Amino acid sequence: MQNAKNTLIVSAALACAVSAPLRVSAATIASAPYGATQQGQAVVQYTLSNARGVSMSCITYGGIVTRLDVPDRRGRRADIVLGFGSLNDYEKYNGKIHFGGLIGRYANRIADGRFELDGHTYKLPVNEPPNTLHGGPHGFDEKVWTVVKTFQGAQGAGVQLRYVSNDGENGFPGTLTVDVTYTLTDDNDVRIDYRAKTDKPTVLNLTNHSYFNLAGEGSGSVEGQLVMIAGSAYTPTRPDSIPTGEIASVENTPLDLRALTPISARLRSANQQMRFARGYDQNWKLNKNGQHNAEATFAARAYDPASGRVLDVYTTQPGLQFYTGNGLDGSVIGVSGTAYRQTDGFALETQHFPDSPNHPAFPSTELKPGDEFHEITVWKIGVR
C-alpha cells in the first residue's frame, strides 16, 4: 500500500512539473522520399511537427518511427529514439532489432511456434528457437505499408497506415486488415491507434518497438534514467522467455518499479528472472482492475534527470514489456555514428501478454470476424 501511495505522490509531483499546454497553432505534416526497398518498393517518410518544438518522423517501411525530436528543460532538441540513417540499414538489421517498428501479427513470443484455435492447431515459423518471436520472420515491421490518409487540424497532425496480411501469412489464419494511425498533438502527445479486422478467427497482438534514450540517441547508457511501471504483478517466464502461466507479485523483486527507480538500481540483480533475460525483458500486468478501458490509462513513466525530459505512457492494453536493449552488442551503428550497446536504449512495449493463445487464463488475443481490434497507446512528452 505504501508503494501505491508513493507512486501517486511521485505521479502528482511530476504531472505538475510537466509544461502546461500552450495555445499554439495546429501541428503540421510533411513528406519526403525515403528511397526504395531491395524489391523496388518506394518508401516515404512523414514528419509530424508542432509549434512547441516536438517532431516525429515515421516511414512507410514497417511503420518505423525513425526520429522523435524533443526539447530538454533548456529548450535544446534531441532525437530520443534509436534508429538508423538509411533504409538499407533498416532492411538489413530490423528483422532482429526492430527499431521503432510496428510489430505483428503477434508481438512477443509464442511457445514452440504453435497454438490452438477453435480445435485447429496452427504452426508458425520459428525464428527464436524453439519459439516464434514478433510474428515470425519478415513480420509487419519489414513490410511496406500503404498510406490511407494524412491530416492536420485542431486534433493534431497525423498519418494513417494500412497493411493487409493474407490468410496463412507466417502460419496465422485469416486475411487481416490492419490500420495504424500516428498523431502528434500540440499538447506534445504522440498517439498510436491500432485497428484491425479479420475474415476468419485469428489471434493478434500489436505494438510499437521504439527504443528510447531520453538523454538523446547516441548519448550512451540509460542506466541513470528512471522508470516507473504501474504494475503490481508480472508474468514469470522459463529461461527461453515463455511465460509459465503464473501471474506473480512484483513485491520484493527487482521488478517492483511502482515508484520511480534508476534503471541501474537492480539491473544486475541475481534474481532468476533478471538472469534469464540478462537484464529487464519482462511483461508487467498493468493495474487496470480487470477492465478493458475504452480510453488509455497510465502505464509507465521514464525520466532523465540530466535533461529533464519526461515520457509518460498511457494505454488501453493489459500489459507492458520493459526491455533494456539486452541484445545490443555494438554490432550495429546508429544514425549518429555511435555503436549501440546494451542499455543504450529501453523499450516500453504496450501489449497483450506473451504466449496468450497458449494460456487461457491470460487476457484473450482472439479476434473474430465482425469484431474490431482497437487499442490505443499515447506517449506524453514533457520536461521537469
* CA 107/CA 132 separation, integer angstroms: 10
Q: Identify the pLDDT of residue 288.
A: 83
- Structural domain for 49, as ranges: 2-383
Phi, psi of 25 (to 5 degrees): -70, 160
Q: Identify the pLDDT of residue 13.
A: 42
* CATH (domain of 314): 2.70.98.10
Q: How many domains does the structure of the chain reveal?
A: 1
Give the amino acid at 56. Answer: M
* CA 60/CA 149 separation, integer angstroms: 12
The burial of 336, by beta-carbon neighbours within 10 Å (0-12 exposed, 13-18 middle, 19 or more buried), is given as middle
Residues recognised as catalytic: 209, 349
Answer yes or no: are the C-beta atoms of 199 and 174 closer than 8 Å: yes
* CA 194/CA 210 separation, integer angstroms: 15
Distances (CA, A) of 349 to 116, 196, 346, 359, 382: 25, 18, 10, 20, 19
Answer yes or no: are the C-beta atoms of 59 and 168 closer than 8 Å: no
Which residues, given as ranges, of the chain have pLDDT below 70? Answer: 1-25, 289-293
- Which segments are annotated as binding site? 108-109, 209-211, 281
Question: What tens digit of pLDDT does each residue of 41-88 get?
Answer: 999 999 999 999 999 999 999 999 999 999 999 999 999 999 999 999
Distances (CA, A) of 357 to 104, 134, 173, 205: 14, 14, 13, 10
Q: Identify the pLDDT of residue 154.
A: 86
* CA 325/CA 343 separation, integer angstroms: 5
- Which segments are annotated as binding site for beta-D-galactose? 108-109, 209-211, 281
* CA 176/CA 200 separation, integer angstroms: 8
* CA 233/CA 225 separation, integer angstroms: 22
Q: Identify the pLDDT of residue 293.
A: 66
Q: Identify the pLDDT of residue 290.
A: 55
Query: pTM score, two decimals?
Result: 0.93
